[in-house]
Amino acid sequence: MAKFSHDAFIAPTAEQYVSRAEILGAFSYALDITQGQPVGHCISACWIGCQIGLELGLSGDDFADLYYTVLLKDVGCSSNAARICELYRTDDHEFKHDFKFVTGDKRDVLKFALKTVGKNSGWLTRMRAIASVLRNGDDYAREVMDTRCTRGADIAKRLRFSDAVAEGIRGLDEHWDGSGLPLASSGADIPLYSRIALLAQVAEIFYRNAGADAALAEVAAQSGRWFDPAIVRAFQNAQAKPGFWECVGAPGLEPLLFSLAPAMTADLVDEDYLDDIAAAFGEVVDAKSPYTSGHSGRVADYAARIAEAIDYPVEKRRWLVRGALLHDIGKLGVSNAILDKPAKLDDDEWQVMRGHAAHTQEILGRISAFEDMAPISAAHHERLDGKGYPHGLGASAISLETRIITTCDFYDALTADRPYRAAMSPERALAIMAEEVGKAIDARCFAALAQVVAAQQTPTA
Ligand SMILES: [Fe+2]
Ligand SMILES: [Fe+2]
């Protein structure tokens, strides 16, 4: 294993940055795993949506707004995962995956409820959960959709997109005939980009699972019900063009999508925008579980303070903070049935939980502006004594940046509520961490953390 130090990492310069579409496209893979979809779903749906937009004659800003609405349609999806587990007593990833195949048909809904609700619970809990869903299903569905849509619109605004994109994401689950959620809007009251995004989403899922004929049949069956008939016609025309279906899910789709006008004409991402993207996706991670609410933000805040305390190079601090904000992005790939389990994890569950570090590497490693940060963030559960994960790295292979993030992560985990224990006081947390200095925690980082915590506790005049 090569030895490296923080000096080996150079903060990237603005000239190296790529387009907004490329960065957000890479983050869309994280949204796919949160939704229980195969990676590439959002990219493929975006392609389908764009072809519909071109059929409708969209161009310029309108086409760009459609592009980002479909690409980021699932950006609010982490926010309802914990509630889905609670209400439906099931794995949120499986629930979200299977729910995409449920039509408005009552028999379909009943079949879904019997198959999915309370799936991993005992018989009695399962029967109670099914009865509760059959009794209150409409309210449950409205609540989880409302949470997701509102959150998605908020994050779109945080990412500096227009109201049209935010409203397009907010209206994703509304149906043409008024049977959608959460507002039961109908017809032209539903934003155009929402109408296109919903059709693109359904077409992509049916195509991937059963082929083009199945996608066409489902879209035709939902014309005038879920879908705007005019958009159905535009989709039917678009899909008849040569190469349409061959592109969906193809390895070469990404560069093709990033060569479309909205991606090419968008401003290149600057340092400030990278900060915003990291903060926004840190919030997406934190929204996944009530037990990690605010965690990424606090870890980043502690990291900034430790960086200052140890005189870490000023020009690299923003970069370090982004790494701290995104260190747990791999948790989007872990079900809340595991993240929020109020008991000890079994071996299989623990393995899935530990997998979040590798997911962080995979997700950040796809993004050119963040790829040198990926191994630093992904190593936050490594230990100096070599007993950490995912690689069991030794002290010589753990960078200063990782040591800072690990120290902050450790402290925030101890001082926040967990499913299996209450939050600890700062004093208790520091006492526990003191035992880990030299084993899991770097001595210099720990001393700086103690200084930061003491300063926080000192009342200001
Ligand atoms: Fe973690
Ligand atoms: Fe963490």
Question: In this structure, which ligand is nearest to the CA of 388?
Answer: 1
CA of 410 to the centre of ligand 2 (A): 8
Choosing from 73, 119, 331, 344, the catalytic residue is 331
CA of 331 to the centre of ligand 2 (A): 9
CA of 324 to the centre of ligand 1 (A): 10
CA of 211 to the centre of ligand 1 (A): 38
CA of 169 to the centre of ligand 1 (A): 29
- Give all domains of the chain, ordered by start, each with its CATH number: 6-11+269-457 (1.10.3210.10), 19-79+149-265 (1.10.3210.10)
* Residue 19, strand partner residues: 268
Question: In this structure, which ligand is nearest to the CA of 303?
Answer: 2
Question: In this structure, which ligand is nearest to the CA of 285?
Answer: 2
Tell me, yes or no, if 331 is annotated catalytic.
Answer: yes
CA of 355 to the centre of ligand 2 (A): 13
CA of 77 to the centre of ligand 2 (A): 20
CA of 237 to the centre of ligand 1 (A): 47
- Residues that place a CB less than 5 A from ion ligand 1: 328
CA of 332 to the centre of ligand 1 (A): 11
pLDDT in tens, the chain (461 residues): 233 333 434 444 544 446 788 889 889 998 998 878 888 999 999 999 999 999 999 998 999 999 999 999 999 887 666 676 677 777 777 776 777 666 666 677 677 777 777 777 777 777 777 777 777 777 777 777 788 889 899 999 999 999 999 999 999 999 999 988 888 999 999 999 999 999 999 999 999 999 999 999 999 999 999 999 999 999 999 999 999 999 998 888 988 888 887 776 655 678 888 999 999 999 999 988 888 889 999 999 999 999 999 999 999 999 999 999 999 999 998 988 898 888 889 999 999 999 999 999 999 998 888 889 999 999 999 999 999 999 999 999 999 999 999 999 999 999 988 777 888 999 999 999 999 999 999 999 999 999 999 998 876 65
Question: In this structure, which ligand is nearest to the CA of 359?
Answer: 1
Question: In this structure, which ligand is nearest to the CA of 409?
Answer: 2
